[in-house]
Chain A
Amino acid sequence: MKLRRVAIAAAAVFGAVLLPGCGEKDQVIVYKQGKYQGKPDDKPWAGTQWSSNKGQWETALRTRNLNQNEYTRTE
């Protein structure tokens, strides 16, 4: 009886160890011609700095952009 319980427990542990192997993902990429196959990228304004506020990010970038014009800074 005791031996049977041990055998059942061992089978359960063995099964639990084996199961993750079945969850392995495909490692071969299926190519779709002309379409980006890689990982998706975050939006630049998606981080904590901008809290997904696209307008705020665009304003900051625009300020930097306009700062490249020294005519507006010197005249």
Chain B
Amino acid sequence: MARMKFLCDAERCIECNGCVTACKNENEVPWGVNRRRVVTINDGVPGERSISVACMHCSDAPCMAVCPVDCFYRTDEGVVLHDKDLCIGCGYCFYACPFGAPQFPQAGAFGLRGKMDKCTFCAGGPEKDQSKEEFAKYGSNRLAQGKLPACAEMCSTKALLAGDSDVISDIYRQRVTKRGKGSEVWGWGTAYGKPDNPQAQPPAGKS
């Protein structure tokens, strides 16, 4: 099996935030922490594009490189996880991450920063699989149940793909070659279907 990856198809994402909600619900993520969010470019302008962003589980993760206590590890499936018992909440990983994936729960009047929390690819963390402790610290472990991350499985337009990078690349490649490009991708024809015979004329004598 190759590496686990996320792939968001900007042509399909409709900014419904279903992935964000699915993630929040599945992992019972606290207020103020967003493991996943939808970013829209040129919002309100025709041709705007949205993309769902979370930890990209980088092959050469900068968070791993900068962590002073080395609490990050990468599983055999290429999922970047961390040990919350070791994390000191310094925030270096947040500065290093190009996607803003690491999140820090804040509490109290002075905004006390807690331990880092991020997308786990629904793979839990370094506690006994599917235990209460694992759920409390890291959230759901769907991967150990043979399931994919909740965000991707919940995506209504299948804009967000998750899983084996080879497989999802193939799916995306097939889509791109089938749907064409530019104005072919979005517009009337895509939304309502193209006519079977575009050259057809209405029968003579009828209006």
How many interface residues does B have (CB within 8 Å)?
Answer: 43
B56 beta carbon closer than 8 Å to chain A: no
Report whether over half of chain A's contact residues are helix, strand or loop; otherwise say mixed.
loop
Q: Contact between A65 and B83 (Cβ–Cβ < 8 Å)?
A: no
- Contacts A33-B70, A49-B145, A49-B146 given; indicate if A65 touches B163 (C-beta within 8 A): yes
CB neighbours of B77 from chain A (8 A):
44
CB neighbours of A44 from chain B (8 A):
75, 77, 123, 129, 141, 143-144
B22 beta carbon closer than 8 Å to chain A: no
CB neighbours of A29 from chain B (8 A):
69, 86
CB neighbours of A61 from chain B (8 A):
1, 143, 146-148, 163-164
CB neighbours of B143 from chain A (8 A):
44, 61
How many interface residues does A have (CB within 8 Å)?
Answer: 32
Interface string of B151-162 (1 = CB under 8 A from A): 011000010011
CB neighbours of A49 from chain B (8 A):
144-146
- Contacts A36-B70, A49-B144 given; indicate if A41 touches B75 (C-beta within 8 A): yes
